[in-house]
Amino acid sequence: MAGVSSGVMEAGRKPIYKQLYVQVLTAIVLGGIVGWLWPDLAKNDWIKALGDGFVKLIKMAIAPIIFCTVVSGIAHIQDAKKVGRVGVKALVYFEVISTFALVLGLLVGNFIEPGHGFSGKPDATAVAGFAKQASEMKSIDFVMNIIPDTIIGAFAKGDILQVLFFAILFGFALMALGERGHTLRSSIDDLAHAMFGVIAIIMKAAPIGAFGAMAFTIGRYGPQALGNLLGLIATFYVTAILFVVVVLGFVARMAGFSIFKFIAYIKDELLIVLGTSSSESALPQLMEKLERLGCSKSVVGLVVPTGYSFNLDGTNIYMTLATLFIAQALGVHLSAGEQFVILGVAMLTSKGASGITGAGFITLAATLASIRPELVPGMAIVLGIDKFMSECRALTNLTGNGVAAVVVSWWEGELDRSKLEAGLNRTVDPSDVETAVTTD
């Protein structure tokens, strides 16, 4: 019987040219070739619009999906204490893993010293805008910004944290209605399914978006843009890979699954992020696939959106590594005490720039300004290559939040092992979002 079911499964799989990850990967390669050979064409606004337009399409659907998913997850829970318990577990997990990411960045930066011997001279005016935004970032502003001015305003701005805040309140209110809220709960569930159907349609344009984004990036910056800073980029990518394989790999093994199989399971989302440099572009599809992997719907609805503000592993690695690089490049020695302060400051600043364009770069400015203000002008050194490192930040953040949802579901005792094994062992087609939406 196993052989028969396996044969049916193989026969039902899509041809390789119809696989989303194959299409996106091909588009990325073609985009890189166009950007390299015809840079003037690649820098055309219409080429850039292909990538920007796809990201906007995804962002268009994020707020209602987050709202429906969170509200439905909470409203279907009978015990209100469970929501608080899941939230506490998620925050504890986020802080522990974020600390590992920050420490790893410091250790690698001190060991390899990628900025040692750098001969470039930074331009202080090049980062004036980022420094100004960083100086305006305050903890109280971040807390107050969680509360939207109006409910409609939160959806209009697409602020994930504000939508999440209102969704939690609405979910509790719907839970309190009991049987009287049954019709509304069903309507929200149906709306969520419809929105995932919208995402399934939008995802057909993913290869076009990836092509446009990659062509413009290479055409605008050029392969030679890496220059002397290739060492920093390579160090950052290797450190991020080390974090995913070792730290997240160890956590995944404790929860009973393989990090490599998990990465293979979400490869479509990772390639979309690679092509668009935006982790938000894969958020809705990631949440859908995590539920199909056996994670509790309520856990996914709480952990993943919250993780986009509180679990930025790639950004944490970037901040500590880039801080040491700039200090080394400018010949500024940071004592062990100052590096310890970096951990605390970076832990806070990484939480305060969610949803800001260039968030990783702005949080770096905030961290430098808090520790050694004379290092802020040195940000001009990494300004030119930040685009290339932002992709790695987004990839690491996405992987970290996916693992977090599985681990918290396991911690909560709500991880369906049969679905987990089926998904990771490829006995189901994880890319067939449309089928999942219509048959759930």
Higher-confidence residue: 404 or 156? 404
Biggest distance spanned by C-alpha atoms of the chain:
69
DSSP letters for 90-146: HHHHHHHHHHHHHHHHHHHHHHH-TTTT------GGGGHHHHHHHHT--HHHHHHHT
Q: Which fold has domain 2-439?
A: Proton glutamate symport protein (1.10.3860)
Q: How far apart are CA 149 and CA 198, in angstroms?
A: 28
Residues 6+ apart with CB under 8 A from 373: none
* Tokens 């994020």 found at: 62
Beta strand ranges found along 275-412 (DSSP E): none
pLDDT digits (tens, 9 = 90+) for 289-344: 998 999 988 788 888 877 877 788 888 898 888 888 888 877 777 778 778 877 87
pLDDT digits (tens, 9 = 90+) for 244-302: 999 999 999 999 899 999 999 998 888 888 776 667 777 788 888 998 999 988 788 88
Residue 317 contacts residue 240 (beta carbons within 8 Å): yes
- Share the mean pLDDT of the chain: 76
Stretch 133-143: mean pLDDT, rounded?
Answer: 57
Phi and psi for 115 in degrees, rounded to 5?
A: -90, -5
Residue 82 has pLDDT above 50, yes or no: yes
pLDDT at position 384, please?
Answer: 54
pLDDT at position 368, please?
Answer: 73
pLDDT digits (tens, 9 = 90+) for 8-24: 344 345 677 677 767 87
C-alpha distances (whole Å) from 429 to each of 133, 293, 433 are 44, 11, 9
* Three-state secondary structure readout of 37-100: HCHHHHCCHHHHHHHHHHHHHHHHHHHHHHHHHHHHHHHCCCCHHHHHHHHHHHHHHHHHHHHH
SS3 for 322? Answer: helix
pLDDT digits (tens, 9 = 90+) for 265-278: 998 888 888 776 66
